[in-house]
Structure 1
Amino acid sequence: MKVIRNIAGYVYAVYALLLFVATLLVVFVPVWVIARYSEPTRARLVHRAFRIWMGVYMPLIFCPVSRRGKQHFRKGENYVVVINHNSLMDIPVSSPWIPGPNKTLAKIEMSRIPLFGVIYKAGSILVDRKKESSRRESFGLMDDTLKQGIHLCLYPEGTRNKTEKPIQPFYDGAFVTAIRAQKPVMPGVLFNTGTVLPHDSKGWARPKRLHIHFLEPVPTAGLTLNDVAALKEKVYTMMETYYITHKNELS
């Protein structure tokens, strides 16, 4: 039975990858054209393109996405959206399902992949984590993104969760950015992306319904950088508690 399961997982992974490439070729030209626009128009059009793309692709690979908490996004307000990080699938699930245009902080290495790199750059703020100057510059670009009324989508764990913990400890960056911009933090919790594409199973995957739930936003108005630790702890506790409470019902 285990052998059959393993074979099925590899076959499914190949199917999902081939379909990803096929649909990427369809959206490549529109996104390439959109990338020539200036912000915030580019972010708005890219978000629509990504939402249509993933809205078609995810059901085709038998991983439909369910969303809760859209009502927490108030019209005319943008947020620093922080999301747990379990899988390479997190960005294509989270970014398109955030209500409204958004950008994410992304590794520059991925932008060098032919064709995909063009799409990757269109919706991202690129950072070279090996260079201190690039990391400093990324903070300014994130500030600019928020000033333009665009949501910022960040993964405060820094890397994919490969531990037994529900959620890894958070870094300060997302919370420093939110306080500096005086923008609310919107916690988002992803379920099952690590089950579909496990970090320890190369070339293997499985289909499963995915969930992204947005929680009550946490205001930062009046906070200073002295409050970063408390804000980070509050958001972490909210997300960890929600994940533990709902994991079994959604898995």
Structure 2
Amino acid sequence: MNPLKRVLGHIYFVYAIILFTATMLIVIIPIWMTTLFTEPRRSQYLQPIFRLWMGVYLPLVFCPVRRRGKQNFKKGENYVVVCNHNSLADIPVSSPWIPGPNKTLAKAEMAKTPLFGLIYKAGSILVDRKKANSRRESFTKMQEALQKGLHLCLYPEGTRNKTDQPLQPFYDGAFVTAIKAQKPIIPALIFNTGRILPHNINGWAQPMPIRIDFLEPISTEGLTADDAAELKDRVRTLMETYYVANRKK
């Protein structure tokens, strides 16, 4: 990377952080107010706030979001949406732009962050992966969210992809959850967030458009827990093929 691009990337990163903090302080009170409600009403109120916030913030940092495949969400149905995970910027893209109220599974330690932790907690099902009881409780809460008509947004890679491969191996959890609830899975591919906020350069970022593509639903009707591994492999192959074919478009 040439020195000028490196310097400009650091300046842009600081600009994006300052603007994120400033806009967060504007929305934090309405977001806190949603926590006074129970689900699904909390998420029904929360998602439009997230959409407005990111709908203003992302264009201001020159990262507008484009969606494809919104028509794959049928009115009156809810889904388990499985996304690739390349960057910390994925959640501000996925949660607001999924068509309809949704919950995501998130690391419990992030909820301890001052101010942002409140926002993080409001829209998430928290899990401490080091504790078996927390993992069990999170599965129960995910089933409850689906039963209440909310979408679930899950990242089956488990953590950010820091490899040179299109996708990391998938864990079973998202697919077991979908099968148990008998809810369809919608694969979603997020493009460019890993290039905007690369994992291997601290305090550096660059602006570019973001795209999230929702693929056609995959039914889990009639499947059992024994089918989870096969379903996982099928979805991963589909997502990897699509990502490779479309990442340069």
TM-score by length of 2: 0.99
Provide the secondary structure at the position in 1 that maps to 2:186. Answer: strand
Structure 2 residue aligned with 1:37:
37
Structure 2 residue aligned with 1:181:
181
Partners of 1:21 and 1:129 lie apart in 2 by 28
Superposed, which structure 2 residues align to 1:85-164 within 5 Å?
Answer: 85-164=85-164
Q: Deviations over 1:175-226 (max 9, x none)?
A: 0000000000000000000000001111000000000000011000000011
Provide the secondary structure at the position in 2 that maps to 1:248. Answer: coil
Pairwise CA distance, 1:164: 1.0
The number of equivalent residue pairs is: 249
Partners of 1:191 and 1:220 lie apart in 2 by 26
Partners of 1:163 and 1:39 lie apart in 2 by 37
Q: CA RMSD in A?
A: 0.7
Sequence identity of aligned pairs in percent?
63
Matched to 2:121, the amino acid is K
TM-score by length of 1: 0.98
Partners of 1:169 and 1:39 lie apart in 2 by 32
Partners of 1:15 and 1:159 lie apart in 2 by 26
Pairwise CA distance, 1:130: 1.2
Moved over 2 A (4+): none
Matched to 1:76, the amino acid is G
**Structure 1: tracts of 5 or more residues without a match:** none
Partners of 2:112 and 2:180 lie apart in 1 by 31
Structure 2 residue aligned with 1:16:
16
Pairwise CA distance, 1:144: 0.3
Partners of 1:174 and 1:142 lie apart in 2 by 10
Pairwise CA distance, 1:230: 1.1
Matched to 2:8, the amino acid is A
Provide the secondary structure at the position in 2 that maps to 1:167. Answer: coil
